[in-house]
Structure 1
Amino acid sequence: MPPKPTLSTTYDKRKSVTVITSRTNRRVSFGGTEETEIQAQVHVPEEGCWGWVVVAAAFCVTFIMDGIALTFGSIRPDMTLDLNVSETMTALINSIALALYLIAGPLVSGLINRFGFRACCMAGSVTCSLSLFISYFLANVGGLILFYGVLCGIGFALINMSTGLVVGFYFEKRRSIAIGTATLGTSVGIMAWYPINSNLVKLAGWRSVTLFHSGMFGIIYFLAMTFRPLLSLHVDKTEVTEEPTRTVTYLPNVAATSSQSGQPDTAKPSGSERLFAAMTNDQFPTAADVVKDNEEPQILSSQPGPSAESPRASKLTITAMTPTSGISNHQLQKVESIISKTSMTDFKKQKLKVNVPEQKPKKVSCWGRLCNWEGHLPESRPMYRDDAFYDGKVERLPEYQSSKGAVVSEEKTGLEYQLAVSRAATAQDLQDRRGVFATAVRRVLATMMDPKLLKLSTFRYFCAAGFLIYLGFLVPFAYIQVRNLQAGIDPRHCSLFVSAMGGFNGLGRLGFGFLAIKFCPIKLSVAGLCIGGVITMLSHVSFNMYFQYVYCSLFGFSVACVISCRALMLVKLYGLEKLTNATGMLLLFQGIGSLISTPLAGILSERFGYTVAFIVSGASLVLGGLMFARMYLIFLKEKVTVSPYSSEGSNK
């Protein structure tokens, strides 16, 4: 048997469990490329413990980052006066940052796959903090566009993707609750930061506020320390035959051909090794396909020995990679419980052996325990999961329901589901350490920037809707204060209008998340966007203070569907296996809409007044909703895919 891959790292005790299933004796080829060994990784969350610490940290991170990023309108007027430029130019600074916040998502996802959540979030914290600190000293728009716009926007993306994805890896059954709690930091941040910024600008000016923001982003560096690496297990599964000299080679469904030998692949990198020519996730089998033996493996070649009909048995060996502080009995029992409760017939037939290297706990000081640092596992590939961007209830997914079909309720374990949604990696991928753009990064980029989905008319409508929504979504947040000040509303209330938007946006996230359980998320999005767009177009009808509060509250609540229903709509239309692909392409169009949004509103307001700018903003939201409606009609007509919600009446 070829040697097992070496995994060397250190970990803390109370973590989710990473199972790395190695098939070192099985070789496949993908689409005519060179044959390579395939391996699989899955994460089995613990549903609590340190996960809730991660949720609290993620809430604080989004409170700081989104609260500052989405309340730029509070400092923009003072910046415009200080720099003596047009309002459009200062609006461009933040629009570039918000555009990169979205557009850089696929690249950052690849970096997360290579370096881990914590390293990427910390890098984003340092980038944003230094960029805002340098912006304090700049006196021209060009420099601010570079540092406050471009570099800070890249930092936003690093923080946003890391924080938005890490929570889902600590939870399964409570994933929707955990992610919903963490993302509420955005709404609370908008509600709190706008009046804080407005008052600080009056006292010290926009430069001092920017310096203060620089320090707040520095805090994110320490919050990201809670995103600890996961406890690792190495699982080696082998076939034991009556005649040990026979070689058995297994061909998964996605493979076209298979190797006639078990020697390591020494072929030179093919064209698929180029940056934008890597294979996408859906070209690889799931971890369940790699592990299970419910279907008999295909005998492709053998050395002299018994016939192909000879009986075989499977042996599953689990080796725990112990942390520097040693492994506890509780952790060992957790591992054994996960395997013993697994319903897969394949596991039931196997001989199970658990190897735990004996390692006595080391004595460390109190300070050492508080500042324990565990290195990132280089072989970890979190972004190879199909559900990485899914924030709904996993119990509603077909992959979860099918994986649990044969399991008694009280014996359910997350291993079957995790195997079903995790894609295999190649041995070459896990060993690739060639700089930033290693195979782990290129494969995620190829997956998230896959243009094949654009061939579907429904997805083209989805992307057009995403562009239009973000073209109008940000305008009220950026210009409501200035517009109402010009209309003569009390300045004390003008700084609270955006706070009302943020507060009711949080309620809307909770409300739409709850309604999406019972109703079609596409219909909910159409209703929310049309309501938000119409009231925005009519927001100039009266500048009575209470009327404006009502408008801001309804707007904040209704547009919450943009975030709450996005993943649910994509899964409904294209299935979980295409969620990562669709999310990456959609982020691109949303980012372009964000780039144009506030500068266009600034041009319209300078030439025609704020009324026209708000009418265009509302019309964009309504058009986005109508695009969703048209997309849904095409979906029903063409029946692109079977709805995962049909069994629960979500097509009402």
Structure 2
Amino acid sequence: MEKMPPQNSVELNSKPDTENTTKKIQNGNANTTAKNVEPPTTSVIVPPDGGWGWVVMIASFLCNTVVDGIVFSAGMFQDPIRLDFGVGKAEVALVSSLLSGFYLITGPFVSALANRWGFRPVTILGAVIASIGFALSYFGNSLGYLYITYGVIGGIGFCFIYVPSVITVGYYFEKWRALATGIALCGSGVGTFVFAPLSSMLINQFGWKGALLAQSGIILLCAVFGCMFRPLQPVQVTITKDEHTPAEKGTLLGEGLPVVYTKSLPEGRFAYSVPNSSHSTWMGASPNTQYPTAAEVFRGSGHNLERRPSNHSGLLTNENFQTTTKKLEQLSKMQKKLSGQLTPEDTIHAPRFPLPHHELNTVGEAAEEEEIENGTLLPGEQKAVPIVTSTATRQRSQTVSGRRTNDSGPGSRQGSRRGTLTDGTRPMYRDDIFFTGSLVRIPQYQSHTSLGYHMSVTRLPTQNDVEEDEDQTCKVCPEAVRRTLATMLDMTLLRSPSFMLLAISGFFTMMGFFVPFMYITQRAVSGGMDPQIALFIVSAIGISNTIARIVCGFLSSFKSVNALHLNNVAITMGGIATMLSGMYINEAFQFTYAGIFGIAIACFSALRSILVVDLMGLEKLTNAFGILCLFQGLAAAIGAPIAGFFTDLTGSYNVSFYISGALITISAILCYPLSYVNKWEKNRAAKKSLATV
């Protein structure tokens, strides 16, 4: 009996007529044979940099306004709840700290769900969950009940809103990513400014239970905002593999290799070699870094980067890849502008064999003539030319709502596509999905054209992943969820000294982060300030935070600006100012402190992803984001109750601010040697690599 291939392997292009096909095409019979030999195709999201993206930005801004506004104004509920139940400050502080803690801790799990089902449904579900949690809190008659309804359920629901609302903006923007993301995140500061007095007014009018019920209704608005998170249509890229790759020879790859998804007829898949040890993960899936990017697959697994001689100019090389992607970038933007980003998938073909002259489109002819005139291409030399096919050519159609109907071409799957996967694209399979800064700081962006960059940061799904999406074969824990969790919770990153310094620093920052929000108004009132004026100190933090986010985002867009130094200075100022904030309880001093603290937390939030990329590299960003969520969420959950405990113990609010300021200052001090530690770590890794070679 013939031995069957392993499940995770596939024989590629194993039809025996490959060599004959080559001869036929070279003999001029391309028209008939090319129809039978379809090169592998994948899909890549190329942000439209505008259009509906501005609507998404506004929706994200409003989501952040509601979520962060409620989280940062939660301190307004502390005294009414404490007096109602007759408990201490530490116990009641745990109600709000659980809200902020689960808001962060749930981040990796929400990201995994968004990867499988999309930003829109996850955001809507989160609004419903959080609204239910707050509504149930209306019936609370004990702190334990509020811990569950307000803290845990409300926090999880807020994370369902927060994560999609942040990352979907970057999904829509490339050139304007830093600006659009910065504006969206400014909703945090605006929400703090608005909800501090609003929460106080609602409590005075309806009591703390009625105020929570009113906030429950406001949270439901996020479901409306989430409806604006419309999925993007991908650009479809088709490029033939190098004739020297194992795939062209019909080689059967070894055990344990994931089958990377590309649209190829009839197989529809491309096997890519990954070390077997990478599959021994706790989630039963490999992290993203173990899977190839679209650029690696279509460049011959990263080995075909050298310039090819003229007789191989029909293959995709590093040089003609740049020319090809420039043309597709222009065409993609033009089509999306004309159709409001609801165009069908654009398909680019870089032909493997020189095509007859009459098959080249006019765009390719004009480009070739221009290059001959410029001296970059010799007369008679054939080059890879993009052939962009329309909907009619590919036999694809698209409804007005943006959902694609069934593919009727050869080898297509029958039946409707009920999942959210758009021809192999997954948001969490992008290395830069959590990057909120300007892309000019990323080396990959500087060395590629637009499409080339997006292909270089897009990890391909496996065939099993796509089949689960199309056939709904796995409903409990799909591969898209497992792979995202395996990426975000890959604990091998804890072996990095640089990352551990950054993570511990973030832990200390978040321990002191929420203390001023919870106690600054109460301390000001107890110190003799007018309660109506003291109420707006938290609002002043929000205003300062909003302005500082914009300025910080602008400064970080310059490559010459050292993000680590900016982070260290801002956090040090915030920590010292917090420790000294109780010296004078008057309007001028307290509002000045609010401005400084707002700047500090704005820089901390805005620069986190930039620091990770500068220190660890773009490919580690998703992993770092997941682990940082756990560190910071745990710190947020315990920080305020500890401060409340010492306030109860000493009878003074100043002790809470001393502890908070000291923790924030320590977090800044930990980051001062970070650049030297990172340089030592990289040198050690380089020496180890040379030793193994």
Scaled by the length of structure 2, the TM-score of the pair is: 0.74
Confirm or deny: 8 A CA contact 1:532 1:555 kept in the other structure. yes
Residues 485-533 of structure 1 deviation map (CA, whole Å, 9 limit, x = unaligned): 1111111111000000111011111222223324211111111111111
- 1:636 Cα deviation (Å)? 3.6
Matched, 1:349 2:393: no
Q: Show the counterpart of 1:301.
A: none
C-alpha change, 1:579 and 1:265, in structure 2 (3 Å) is closer
Residues 197-254 of structure 1 deviation map (CA, whole Å, 9 limit, x = unaligned): 1122112211111011100111111111111122245444446989xx97455999x9
**1:214, 1:201 → 2: CA distance?**
14
Confirm or deny: 8 A CA contact 1:75 1:206 kept in the other structure. yes
Confirm or deny: 8 A CA contact 1:64 1:217 kept in the other structure. yes
**2:259, 2:61 → 1: CA distance?**
48
Confirm or deny: 8 A CA contact 1:574 1:641 kept in the other structure. no
SS for the counterpart of 1:44 is coil
Confirm or deny: 8 A CA contact 1:481 1:495 kept in the other structure. yes
Confirm or deny: 8 A CA contact 2:548 2:603 kept in the other structure. yes
Q: Show the counterpart of 1:395.
A: 440
Of residues 646, 658, 674 in structure 2, which corresponds to 1:631?
A: 674
**1:514, 1:41 → 2: CA distance?**
32
C-alpha change, 1:456 and 1:273, in structure 2 (3 Å) is closer
**1:388, 1:641 → 2: CA distance?**
29
**1:553, 1:443 → 2: CA distance?**
42
Q: Show the counterpart of 1:457.
A: 497
SS for the counterpart of 1:500 is helix
C-alpha change, 1:458 and 1:239, in structure 2 (3 Å) is closer
Residues 182-205 of structure 1 deviation map (CA, whole Å, 9 limit, x = unaligned): 000000000110011112211221
Confirm or deny: 8 A CA contact 1:500 1:552 kept in the other structure. yes
Of residues 515, 527, 549 in structure 2, which corresponds to 1:475?
A: 515
Confirm or deny: 8 A CA contact 2:567 2:603 kept in the other structure. yes
SS for the counterpart of 1:205 is helix
Identity of counterpart residues, as a percentage?
34
C-alpha change, 1:621 and 1:640, in structure 2 (3 Å) is farther
- 1:92 Cα deviation (Å)? 0.6
Matched, 1:435 2:437: no
Confirm or deny: 8 A CA contact 2:497 2:678 kept in the other structure. no
C-alpha change, 1:72 and 1:47, in structure 2 (3 Å) is same
- 1:114 Cα deviation (Å)? 0.3
Confirm or deny: 8 A CA contact 2:515 2:657 kept in the other structure. yes
Of residues 659, 664, 669 in structure 2, which corresponds to 1:616?
A: 659
Q: Show the counterpart of 2:308.
A: none
Confirm or deny: 8 A CA contact 1:533 1:619 kept in the other structure. yes
Q: Show the counterpart of 2:405.
A: none
Whichever residue aligns with residue 477 of structure 1, its letter is F
Matched, 1:600 2:642: yes
Matched, 1:289 2:296: yes
Confirm or deny: 8 A CA contact 1:40 1:423 kept in the other structure. no
Equivalent residue runs for 1:126-165 within 5 Å: 126-165=128-167
C-alpha change, 1:38 and 1:276, in structure 2 (3 Å) is farther
C-alpha change, 1:114 and 1:38, in structure 2 (3 Å) is farther
Residues 238-296 of structure 1 deviation map (CA, whole Å, 9 limit, x = unaligned): 46989xx97455999x97999xx979899xx9994976232011111111011235977
- 1:403 Cα deviation (Å)? 0.8
Whichever residue aligns with residue 376 of structure 1, its letter is T
**1:435, 1:274 → 2: CA distance?**
21
**1:265, 1:238 → 2: CA distance?**
12
Confirm or deny: 8 A CA contact 1:229 1:377 kept in the other structure. no
- 1:338 Cα deviation (Å)? 11
Confirm or deny: 8 A CA contact 1:108 1:161 kept in the other structure. yes
Q: Show the counterpart of 1:648.
A: none
C-alpha change, 1:509 and 1:488, in structure 2 (3 Å) is same
- 1:45 Cα deviation (Å)? 1.1
Of residues 495, 501, 521 in structure 1, which corresponds to 2:541?
A: 501
Q: Show the counterpart of 1:371.
A: none
Confirm or deny: 8 A CA contact 1:191 1:499 kept in the other structure. yes
C-alpha change, 1:178 and 1:274, in structure 2 (3 Å) is same
- 1:85 Cα deviation (Å)? 2.2
Of residues 272, 277, 283 in structure 2, which corresponds to 1:276?
A: 283
Of residues 207, 213, 218 in structure 1, which corresponds to 2:220?
A: 218
Confirm or deny: 8 A CA contact 1:40 1:286 kept in the other structure. no
Confirm or deny: 8 A CA contact 1:526 1:625 kept in the other structure. yes
Equivalent residue runs for 1:246-395 within 5 Å: 247-248=249-250, 272=279, 276-292=283-299, 335=346, 349=384, 352=387, 354-357=389-392, 376-377=420-421, 379-395=424-440
**2:503, 2:62 → 1: CA distance?**
31
C-alpha change, 1:349 and 1:280, in structure 2 (3 Å) is same
Q: Show the counterpart of 2:633.
A: 591
- 1:138 Cα deviation (Å)? 1.6
Matched, 1:512 2:552: yes
- 1:633 Cα deviation (Å)? 2.8
**1:520, 1:181 → 2: CA distance?**
22
**2:668, 2:459 → 1: CA distance?**
34
**2:589, 2:388 → 1: CA distance?**
69
Matched, 1:577 2:612: no
**2:248, 2:40 → 1: CA distance?**
20
Residues 41-100 of structure 1 deviation map (CA, whole Å, 9 limit, x = unaligned): 421111111000000111111101110111100122111112222222221111112111
Confirm or deny: 8 A CA contact 1:171 1:178 kept in the other structure. yes
Q: Show the counterpart of 1:4.
A: none
Q: Who wins on radius of gyration, i.e. which is larger?
A: 2
CA RMSD in angstroms comes to: 4.0
- 1:398 Cα deviation (Å)? 0.8
Confirm or deny: 8 A CA contact 2:119 2:164 kept in the other structure. yes
Confirm or deny: 8 A CA contact 1:535 1:551 kept in the other structure. yes
**2:340, 2:508 → 1: CA distance?**
55
Equivalent residue runs for 1:116-195 within 5 Å: 116-195=118-197
Structure 2: stretches of 5+ with no match in the other structure: 1-9, 15-38, 261-265, 306-310, 332-337, 351-362, 372-376, 402-417, 686-693
**1:38, 1:455 → 2: CA distance?**
38
Structure 1: stretches of 5+ with no match in the other structure: 1-22, 28-36, 299-308, 321-326, 365-373, 405-413, 643-652
Confirm or deny: 8 A CA contact 2:240 2:298 kept in the other structure. no
- 1:350 Cα deviation (Å)? 5.1
Give aligned pairs, total: 567
**1:310, 1:527 → 2: CA distance?**
54
Q: Show the counterpart of 1:556.
A: 598
- 1:471 Cα deviation (Å)? 0.5
Larger proportion of strand: 1
**2:91, 2:427 → 1: CA distance?**
39
C-alpha change, 1:560 and 1:241, in structure 2 (3 Å) is closer
**2:341, 2:542 → 1: CA distance?**
43
Residues 578-617 of structure 1 deviation map (CA, whole Å, 9 limit, x = unaligned): 1111111111111111011111111011111211110000
Scaled by the length of structure 1, the TM-score of the pair is: 0.79
Confirm or deny: 8 A CA contact 2:259 2:462 kept in the other structure. no
**1:186, 1:456 → 2: CA distance?**
31
**2:287, 2:41 → 1: CA distance?**
16
Q: Show the counterpart of 2:70.
A: 68
**2:400, 2:490 → 1: CA distance?**
50
- 1:331 Cα deviation (Å)? 6.8
- 1:349 Cα deviation (Å)? 1.5
SS for the counterpart of 2:227 is helix
**2:278, 2:390 → 1: CA distance?**
40
Residues 536-595 of structure 1 deviation map (CA, whole Å, 9 limit, x = unaligned): 111111112211111111111122111111011111101111111111111111111101
